[in-house]
Each structure stands twice: as C-alpha cells, then as structure tokens.
Structure 1
Amino acid sequence: MRALPGESCREHFRAFLGSPLVFSFFDKQTSTWTYLAVDPATREFVVIDPVLDYDNTTGTASTQTADCILDFIKRKGLKISRILETHAHADHLTASQYLKAKLPGNVPVCIGKRITQVQKMFAPRYGLDPASLADAFDIYLEDDEEFKIGELSCRVIHIPGHTVDHIGYVIGKSAFTGDSIFMPDIGSARADFPGGNAKDLYSSLHRLLASPQDYRLFPCHDYPPEGRDPNCIATVDEQRQSNVHVKTGISESCFIKVREARDATLTAPKLLHPSLRVNICAGRLPSEDGSRRTSE
C-alpha cells in the first residue's frame, strides 16, 4: 500500500500505521483534517468529516479536495463502508453528498441522532421546514452504538460542549474527536455556539482523556502557530501532560473561566451560514429556487 495522493493534495497528507490505518488530508482554507480510517485486513474504510471547497466571495463550491481523496481511494484500492460526520460543522461545507455520488454503492451518510435538535434551531433561519429534513441523513447514530468497518469495530461516543449533537468515533486505539480537543498547544474547541456549553465540553474532554494513555486522538482541525506545521495526532498521555486547556490538574471552574473568556474574543466563522445551511441538509447544496439538491 505505497500509493501516494496526487500532487494537488500531497503537501499536507499524513499516514499512520496501526489498526486502523489512518490517512489524513488537510484543507488549508478551513484548517480542517479529513480522515480515512481503514481496516488493513479487508481494505474497507470510512471517511470522517470530508470537506467541500467553497469560495465565500463568489458563493461557489468546488471539489478539488474531495477529488484528491477520491483519487487516493482509487489508487489504494479501498472499499467504502460509510461516510461519518462528527457534527453539523459551522466552518466548512461537508463533501458527503459529493463523495456518496462518486463512490460505488449507496454509501450511507451517518451522524449523531441529536442533529435533529440542530436542524430545529437553524432550519427556520434558512427558510427550511425542519420536518423536511427528517430524511436528510441516511443513518442517525445512537450513543455507544457499534458497527463494523471490515473486521474492526467502531463505537460512537457522545461528546457535547462544542455543539449539542457532537459525537466522536473510537476505532481500535484511535479516537476521531471532531471539534472537541485539539492539539495540546491549541487546547480545545469553542463552546459558544447555540447548544454549546463549556461545562459539557470539560466533561467530554475528560471522557476522552480517561482512555488508555496510548490511545491516539485525531482532531478535526489544527490552527498551528507560526513555525509549526499542521498536525493531527496526539496521544492521550500527551494531552494529559500538556494540553493548555485541559491537562491534568486543571479544574472544571478554571477551564470554564478560560474557555468562556477566550470565546468572548472570537468572531463568527467566515463560512458560518453557508456551512450550516448545507450541513444540516447532509451536504446537499441549495438549488436556485432554494430547495435541496446534491453537490453533484
């Protein structure tokens, strides 16, 4: 399995051995990591948090990042199982429907069951009837639900705080943590979105850090300071030792104070409304008349 991705996305591609094999792709525009988690025995895999390229100035979407990943999948001879979302992202558009259309079979797009709460909050803002979104996703995952990826088992964990619907995925000794915990020098995700809560986030972070110390945590984003390249992996032990927001010894009250003070300085994500408008519809782009359509 030596194939590399094409030139267009090789700059921030990383691969990690283990079970699962993890291949990561970094979108520089939104600082987002998309992951392929692969069962090495069967080559069956899942895609986690795929990104659709979007130009906020022109309001147009493109598929360069997704096409790079599709090319990599073809080169590797991998077999798709599911497309997984950790939550309704507010900073990038999901490419789930584009990948679903391009990959073989009727690939299910999956998300946590509490997405319906987010849809109810935001659908009216975009002129959508929440009832019309009841079938937007193919599978609504339950807390602690397990499913197979080839011979591997994937477990769903509810880790709210950033958003109410937020979930993570634990596969072997790897956890895909979405927008909850980031690299140790960055800390944690914001908790000021509707349904977000710093106290809940602290609890979720400690649920992740209660895992064995050698577990690998893969965040959805990295915002590296000057002089550091984007990174996407830290062990539980590394997070316990040096995460600036939640390392061992930081109390709940201290975390909440720091998190809420930091959130008060943050502006809304540049792609907030385009992202939520598309992501609560499972990646279907609005047509000219405002109805849902796929990103094909």
Structure 2
Amino acid sequence: MASAPEPTVHACFEPRTSTWQYVVADSATRAAVIIDSVLDFDPARNAISTESADSLLALVKERGYTVDRLLETHAHADHLTASRYLQHQLEASSGTKPEISIGKRIVGVQRRFAQRYSIPPSEYEGKFDHLLDDDEIFKVGQLEAKAIHLPGHTPDHMGYMIGVNVFCGDSLFNTDVGSARCDFPDGNAHELFSSISKLFSLPDSFKIWTGHDYPPGGEAGRMAPLAYTTVAEQKQSNKHIKVGTTEDEFVQWRNQRDSGLAEPRLVHQALQFNIRAGHLPAPADTPNGDQFLHVPIKLPAGDVWYKIRKEESI
C-alpha cells in the first residue's frame, strides 16, 4: 500500500531569538503554510526590521509556493511575529490574502495582556483571521493538517501535525535542551506533562519540530541548531522528561527551575505586538504620530517608591 504524501519542510533558523521558522509545503500543488515567523526587533533602538521575514518571502517566491495560512503556535514572549507583515506582502504580490491563524484560547490571553498593557479592544479583537478549534483539520494543498492543543507553556499553545511531522512550538525542545518553562500566566507544569505525554504517544518515527533551539555547546556539546528529533529519540533521551519520568518528578523539577528564571529579553514588546497578531499599535496623539509599546518599571523592594507614587498622584 502506498504511503501518504509528506510535506516539504523548510526550517529557517533566526539566531538572535534562537527561533525556528517553518515553511511547510505540498510539493504537488505548491500550497504552503508559514509557522512562527519572526519580525526583527532591535531593543537598543526600539527599531523593527524585516530581514528574517523577507528571507521567508524570497524562499516562497523561489519555490513558487502559494501561502494559504500564517500559523502561530502561541502568543510568543521572546520574539515579535511577522505574520501581519507577511500577509501584507503576500497579498500585494499574489492578490491572495493568507489567513493568520492561532488556537481559539488566544482570546483569553489577549484580554489578560491587553488589561496589563492598557491596550484598547479595537487593537486586538478580531485581529486573527481564524481561531482554530482543538483537533481542527485543515488542508495544505492536498495534505491534511491537524491543530493539536498542547498547553502548559501557555494556555493557548497549539501544535500542528502535517503528515508524520508535528510542529510543537515551545512545548518540547531538543533532547539536550529539554522542555519549556511554565511560569507565564496560566502556564502549568501538570498540563505540560500531559502535552508531552500526548506527543510521546505518537509513533516513534514521527518528527518533532521545535520552536527554538539553544545548542548546549562546550567540549562535548552540540554547536549547530537542530530543527527536529524523532519521538523515539525524545522518549529515550530528553534531559527533562523521558519514558519513566513521573508527573510528580517533572512538575517538582520544572516548578523549581522556573522560579529562578529571568524574564525573556523581549517579553513586554513581544506580548503587546503578538496579541495584536502582528498589527502595529495605533498612532498616538503626538506631533509625529508615534506608535508606542509599554514597558513597566521595576521598582526596588520596599515601600518608599509606592509612597512617592501615591504622593505624586494627589
């Protein structure tokens, strides 16, 4: 019996945020999706650029692909999404507007962070073109793709299964890197254990394509980024969780480790941009119509700064 057709996967590594971006295509129809694209951001200059996204566009053009969807696995806290920029450029070049898609639980994430950063509803409601249900089936050309809910790192987190490939975002990393942190709002180590168990239940030959890679390096370590490992390799060798690791062991270790981790470098910029689906903030009422992202101030321990703030608000 003939095996089902498999997609062509182009794995594109963005080194500044250690992000894997994927162009996944049906070779028969040239239909494609882009997963977890990166918009370049320089925090020293607060400047956006599009080198990484333009490289994806060049690949799409060179291969003759038609991009039907721009997929996000979750609201990233470590890089800005290029989805809206890509959508605009692809529509301008082909006349077809690909949908920006994400899991349906993004709505709760949007509300939480919109409240934190004072973002009005008009800037985030309805900005994603399609909200995916759990286990929703969609097509990439003639190929069947499936959206899989993989919570734990974040509550909205999705993976995408296309053929024998699962693009798992930040739920599971390569075996010598381990697993994702669970200390973001509504993150949960118990849920991450269940999500990883779901991945481990797949056939051993399935490929797990991760959202990031941080090669350990060193004398005996791997230097180059690696896009995927197999389910069998993960079950046997993942440094945080493998066959035989109990839920209690994993949760205790994960929670202890997460309690000492620093915030991602671009967390405030990324979250505000990504809950808007890559749309820019509305221009402010300034002479230049500047567009702003809010960065909260970290106050030192003690009551004095809170007293000063209260006095200044009177």
TM exceeding 0.5: yes
Q: CA deviation at 1:127?
A: 1.4
- CA deviation vs aligned residue, 1:36-65 (integer Å, no higher than 9, x gap): 111111111100000000001111100000
Between structures 1 and 2, the one with greater strand share = 1
> Residues 22-33 of structure 1: matches in 2 within 5 Å?
22-33=9-20
Query: Match for residue 148 of structure 2?
Result: 157
What's the counterpart of residue 302 of structure 2? Answer: none
Q: CA separation in 2, counterparts of 1:151 and 1:222?
A: 30
Greater than 2 Å deviation, 4+ residue runs: 129-134, 290-293
Residue-pair matches, total: 276
> What is the CA–CA distance in structure 1 between the aligned matches of 2:84 and 2:52, rounded to whole Å?
14
Query: How is 1:275-286 mapped onto 2 (pairs within 5 angstroms)?
Result: 275-286=270-281
* Distance (Å, rounded) in 1 between the aligned partners of 2:121 and 2:157: 19
**Contact 1:144–1:155 (Cα < 8 Å) also in 2:** yes
Alpha-carbon offset, residue 288 of structure 1: 3.6
Please give the alpha-carbon distance, in whole angstroms, between the structure 2 residues aligned to 1:292 and 1:193. 30
Report the residue type matching 1:82 in the other structure: R
Task: Give the root-mean-square deviation of aligned CA atoms.
Answer: 1.6
Provide the C-alpha distance between the structure 2 equivalents of 1:81 and 1:292, rounded to a whole number of angstroms. 32
C-alpha contact (below 8 Å) 1:119/1:130 kept by paired residues? no
The yes-or-no answer on 1:243 pairing with 2:230 is no
Q: Does the Cα contact within 8 Å between 1:281 and 1:292 map onto a contact in 2?
A: no
Structure-2 change in CA distance of 1:216 and 1:58 (3 Å): same
Q: Residue deviations 1:212-240, cap 9 Å, x none?
A: 00000001000111142111110000000
> Is this contact kept in 1: 2:123–2:276, CA < 8 A?
no
Contact 1:284 1:292 in 2 (8 A): no
Alignment counterpart, residue 195 of structure 2, candidates 177, 191, 204 = 204
1:287 CA drift (Å) = 4.1
Secondary structure of the residue that 1:61 maps to in structure 2?
strand
Deviations 1:129-164 (A, max 9, x none): 346522110000000100111000110110100000
TM-score, normalized by length of structure 1? Answer: 0.90
Pairing 1:177–2:168 present: yes
CA distance in 1, matches of 2:197, 2:30: 32
Aligned equivalents of 1:34, 1:126: Cα separation in 2: 27
Q: Percent identity?
A: 47
Please say which structure displays the higher CA radius of gyration.
Answer: 2
1:55 correspondence with 2:42: yes
| Structure 2 alignment gaps of length 5 or more | 292-314
In 2: Cα distance, 1:120 partner to 1:69 partner = 31
Give the TM-score normalised by structure 2. Answer: 0.85
